Amino acid sequence: MCGIVGLFLKDPALEPELGALLTRMLVTMSDRGPDSAGLAIYGAEAPGLAKLTVQSDTPEATFAGLDTDLGAALGAPVTLRARSTHAVLTLPEGQLDTARAALATLRPAARVMGRGRTIEIYKEVGLPRDVAARFDIASMSGTHGIGHTRMATESAVTTLGAHPFNTGPDQCLVHNGSLSNHNSLRRKLRHHGILTETENDTEVGAAYLTWRMQTGATLGAALTSALRDLDGFFTFVVGTRDGFGVVRDPIACKPAVMAETDQYVAFGSEYRALVDLPGIQTARVWEPEPATVYFWTRDTPSPAQKAA
């Protein structure tokens, strides 16, 4: 049992409130998973630049001078913004992969949590209230975000094992459920050059979607193919740079509820995650259907797109 939330904003006037709204949504789900928590925030992008979110158990030592050292290795300017055990490194977009490889040498204690033009991922062991406060998520603005509070079933309770999982630029996944074929799928993905870092089944689900989108699939098409290729029971909420998607397996035994207004689309494992959202009293509220893909993008914010 885990708790999932997601919020996709249609109204730019709400963007300064994204972090605060998402934090309140996730805190209400705390009793669904006390082990660890995490949030992905999709914020503003700067032309030609990208971000690496990194984590360290010894942040003062790891982050000291990291921007200078990484900039020297890349031959390009790098800025660093630290938040507790995490730091966001901003660098030229074309050097994301080079920077990630350089980090392994420059700062072996640094672990990459997320990468992309807009995404920042913050996750740690602990309750949602404490994790969100540690990183001051409530102060963050953005266009959309997803969050997760975990009750571990498939792997150890660690920062790396917490959700969301980021396996491709600006793409991340949170999951409630269990995938039964994740080991065989992990081997298949490895043959396609898609690597995972943990034993967590959710990371395999994220990597699968990354692989499908790398081969040209849209978010909707990738989620549709997941219904065919993933075994087990699952509710997925996925974020991309310009989109937000939801899918439940054909049995749909994991709880899920959605709400849509002219200002936003919201997801929660339970309705109580949505009750503090503005205008929820007049929102269209529904339970996502089994084996049905729902997705929204910046270009098509309404109505919901569905693919059986």
Report the catalytic residues: 2
290-293, long-range: CB within 8 Å, 24+ apart, which pairs? 290/248, 290/249, 290/250, 290/251, 290/252, 291/227, 291/247, 291/248, 291/249, 291/250, 291/252, 292/247, 292/248, 293/220, 293/223, 293/224, 293/227, 293/245, 293/246, 293/247
Q: Which amino acid is at 181?
A: N
Closest listed residue to residue 41, CA positions, set 221, 200, 208, 244: 244
| Contacts (Cβ under 8 Å, ≥6 apart) of 148 | 2, 3, 4, 5, 26, 33, 37, 38, 39, 162, 163, 164, 174, 175
Residue given tokens 């034993």 in the structure block: 199
Closest listed residue to residue 88, CA positions, set 131, 32, 48, 135: 135
- List the helix and strand counts (H, then E) for the chain: 8, 17
Closest listed residue to residue 220, CA positions, set 256, 244, 250, 204: 244
